[in-house]
């Protein structure tokens, strides 16, 4: 339902199509019924809004003025509806959460016994930060979130980067493995859109090897599927690997001669604090994320999210 009349929307469609017949077809009306609606609108405003031309119709000066105002009114109404829906959602405890793909195996467990309605968006760090700043999501959990004045970082956890492999492609020796000893196998690597990429690539090429890269992708799920299938090995965080290790699909091994870690952060926008129900859900979800590659959840060193 809208605050504006049917004739009002019909007028906008006629202006867009520049044709009574064309607008009628779009609106599934007869041309005569649509013409009567335009006559009613002109009577209501006390001015001619359309004139017929060989190509169809064109707006009069008064029609142009109404079209400009109409678009503004509709934009204002749309903004008001969005703001009211957002306010109502906050009152109910709804939460729009942005997370990275590697966190999806742990979402459902956080919803057990929760009264909050959760909407989850999946993306990389850059995309999620942009969505948070534009108020498209209420909170995000992502790796290597940049320090920005507009963001409030509530909690953080460090995750070690290691080698992920199927039994047939196990690195030489025992963990912790040397990076050089891992590079004899084909590699399945994160692409440039993932935050781990710059340092990982720098470390690989620092050992002056010529690795065989068989897959690059922004999908952690695709990387772990490839590893499980024996296509190659990968280098991921212990959190990326946790679900697959717990399911017995592949193994995770520490790297002994490289200290690589990724920082996972829980953030909200500084101007949009969470309410109590949202806070409980997001704090519990972050707190229960696994901190080791075996999928076990332990106490995080970072503090939980404070209320609101």
pLDDT at position 215, please? 93
Give residue 294's pLDDT. 60
Q: What does each C-alpha distance from 34 to 21, 44, 136, 241 come to in angstroms?
A: 8, 15, 38, 61
CATH superfamily of 159-261: Periplasmic binding protein-like II (3.40.190.10)
User: pLDDT per residue over 56-71, tens digit each?
Assistant: 999 999 999 998 988 8
Q: What whole-number distance in Å separates Cα of residue 81 and Cα of residue 13?
A: 22
Residue 236 β-bridge partners: 162
Q: Which residues of the chain are modeled with pLDDT < 70?
A: 1-4, 78-93, 109-116, 208-209, 257-259, 292-308
Domain covering 93-157+263-287: architecture: 3-Layer(aba) Sandwich (3.40)
Confidence at residue 128, expressed as pLDDT on a 0 to 100 scale: 92
pLDDT at 176: 87
Domain 6-91 classified CATH 1.10.10.10?
Answer: yes
pLDDT of residue 106: 83
Contact 59, 15 (CB under 8 A): yes
The pLDDT score that the predictor gives to residue 116 is: 67
pLDDT value, residue 78 = 64
Domain ranges of the chain: 6-91, 93-157+263-287, 159-261
Q: Which two tokens stand for residue 65?
A: 């003025």
Domains 93-157+263-287 and 159-261 share a fold: yes
Whole-number pLDDT of residue 98: 93
Tell me what pLDDT residue 201 has.
Answer: 78
> Using the 8-state DSSP alphabet, how is residue 219 labeled?
-
């Amino acid at each position: 339902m809208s605050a504006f009349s049917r004739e009002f929307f019909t007028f906008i469609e006629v202006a867009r199509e520049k044709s009574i017949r064309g607008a009628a077809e779009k609106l599934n009306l007869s041309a005569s019924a649509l013409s009567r609606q335009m006559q009613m609108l002109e009577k209501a405003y006390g001015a001619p809004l359309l004139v017929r031309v060989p190509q169809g119709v064109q707006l009069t000066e008064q029609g142009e003025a109404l079209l400009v105002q109409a678009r503004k009114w509709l934009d204002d109404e749309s903004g008001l509806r969005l703001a009211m829906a957002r306010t109502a959602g906050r009152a109910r405890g709804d939460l729009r959460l942005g997370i990275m793909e590697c966190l999806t195996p742990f979402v459902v467990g956080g919803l057990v016994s929760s009264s909050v309605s959760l909407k989850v968006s999946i993306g990389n760090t850059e995309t999620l930060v942009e969505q948070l700043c534009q108020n498209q999501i209420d909170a995000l959990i992502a790796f290597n979130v940049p320090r920005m004045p507009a963001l409030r970082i509530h909690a953080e956890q460090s995750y070690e980067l290691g080698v992920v492999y199927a039994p047939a492609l196990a690195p030489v020796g025992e963990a912790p493995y040397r990076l050089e000893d891992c590079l004899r196998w084909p590699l399945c690597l994160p692409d440039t859109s993932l935050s781990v990429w710059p340092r990982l690539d720098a470390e690989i090429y620092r050992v002056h090897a010529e690795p065989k890269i068989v897959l690059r992708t922004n999908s952690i799920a695709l990387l772990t599927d490839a590893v499980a299938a024996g296509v190659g090995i990968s280098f991921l965080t212990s959190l990326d690997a946790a679900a697959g290790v717990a399911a017995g699909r592949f193994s995770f091994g520490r790297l002994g001669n490289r200290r690589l870690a990724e920082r996972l952060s829980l953030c909200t926008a500084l101007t949009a604090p969470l309410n109590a129900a949202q806070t409980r859900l997001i704090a519990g979800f972050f707190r229960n994320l696994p901190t080791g590659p075996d999928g076990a959840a332990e106490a995080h060193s970072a503090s939980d999210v404070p209320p609101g």
